[in-house]
Homo-oligomer: A and B are copies of this chain.
Amino acid sequence: MKVSELGEFGLIDLLAKMVNFAQDKQIAPSQQPIIGIGDDAAAWHGDASTQLATVDSFIQGVHFSLDVTPWKELGWKALAINLSDIAAMGGVPKYALISLALPDHTEVDNVTALYQGMIELAQQFGVAIVGGDTSSSPFVAINITVFGSARNKDKPILTRSGAKVGDKVAVTGYLGAATAGWEMLTKGLQFDPEATACLKRAFLHPYPRIAEGQLLVDQGVKTAIDISDGLISDLNHICKASQVSARIEVDRVPIQPTVKTNFSARALELALSGGEDYELLFTASTEVIDKISATAPCPVTVIGEIVADKAGKITLVDSNGNPFNLSKRGWEHFTSR
């Protein structure tokens, strides 16, 4: 069987089973991870607080194209997606290792621009770049590992597996703009200057929700994920890990206003499945979400609720509670991810 037939998530499940089976008895209890393969970041017991680590690949032609992504923005974004994983655990990012594979003919100025983008973001969050690896490659591949921790010993972390039946599903910020920006840049779509700048920024300059992730922990939230694959796909990860299902009222999904205006017919699809918005998707009681809304530096919107069905199914409904059918093609795309 090819990996394309098994799919990314099927492959991860298989490898996680192999690793867990092998490690169950071989690794000392004190060194067993708190969170192993299958969450936004790995977590283990440090001497004084829970330690977090996450890695993401960012590969030319797969995750980005140099045609639409300038080098400095590439550096920013490659680090941002990792910081976002730490945000999704409610942690504090601290150290980064940068592994860079580059074609021999790469201009040094482009590499320094890439680093400038990473450094600017790292400084905003007090993250120290402490090492890495540089190698030759037929195309650009950036692999960043970020190491962080829970804020202190008594602070828990957010995982994908704590969603409870009756929890509301909520999301920070607005959705759809990153993929809309990608479509604009790759298809050469023309919008007014303000919309152009907004969509470009959403796609090239995601801002990891570090402060918001920590606020969720402070308010007692247990379950979160960052939206990298798309709202439905990422909610699916929570549901599978928590052995629950979810019902989403599509009219409540906070579509980014510029996307609503400029992509009218497709705006909802972009918000539901676009991905790369790096907002936080979480579940909690209404009471907890109200407290978070009151203090969060960004909008927080309830979009649905967790329901009792271990199959990990996402149901879309309209404001009357009737089933909402996204185009067959769109839906299959979600489930196939």
Residues of A within 8 A of B (CB): 1-6, 8, 11-12, 14-15, 18-19, 22-23, 26-28, 31-33, 35-39, 41-44, 46-49, 51, 53-57, 59, 61-63, 94-95, 97, 99, 101-102, 104-109, 111-112, 115-116, 119, 122-123, 126, 128-139, 141, 143, 145, 147
What are 19 inter-chain pairs, A to B, with CB distance below 8 A? Answer: A1-B108, A1-B109, A2-B105, A2-B108, A3-B102, A3-B111, A4-B105, A23-B128, A23-B129, A31-B128, A33-B128, A36-B129, A36-B131, A44-B128, A54-B131, A55-B145, A57-B141, A59-B141, A141-B141
Q: A27 to nearest B CB, angstroms? A: 5
Apart from A4-B105, A31-B128, what 16 extra A-B contacts exist at CB < 8 Å? A3-B108, A11-B111, A12-B134, A15-B111, A15-B134, A18-B116, A22-B119, A23-B129, A31-B126, A36-B130, A37-B130, A46-B47, A53-B131, A54-B131, A62-B135, A97-B145
Bound: A46/B95 CA distance, A: 12
Nearest to A37 among chain B residues (CB) is B131
Bound: A112/B111 CA distance, A: 35
Contact A44 B8 (CB under 8 A): no
Bound: A252/B46 CA distance, A: 44
Q: A204 to nearest B CB, angstroms? A: 20
Q: A132 to nearest B CB, angstroms? A: 6
Q: Which residues of B contact A105 (CB under 8 A)?
A: 2-4
Contact A99 B130 (CB under 8 A): no
Nearest to A142 among chain B residues (CB) is B143
Q: Which of B49, B53, B108, B134 contacts A130 (CB 8 A)?
A: B53
Q: Is the interface of A mostly helix, strand, loop or mixed?
A: mixed
Bound: A57/B59 CA distance, A: 13
Bound: A108/B1 CA distance, A: 6
Contact B55 A97 (CB under 8 A): yes
Q: Which of B106, B119, B137 contacts A19 (CB 8 A)?
A: B119
Contact A132 B37 (CB under 8 A): yes
Bound: A38/B139 CA distance, A: 24
Nearest to A12 among chain B residues (CB) is B134
With known contacts A48-B48, A53-B97, A112–B27 Cβ distance under 8 A: no
Contact B108 A55 (CB under 8 A): no
Q: A78 to nearest B CB, angstroms? A: 12
Q: Which residues of B contact A49 (CB under 8 A)?
A: 47
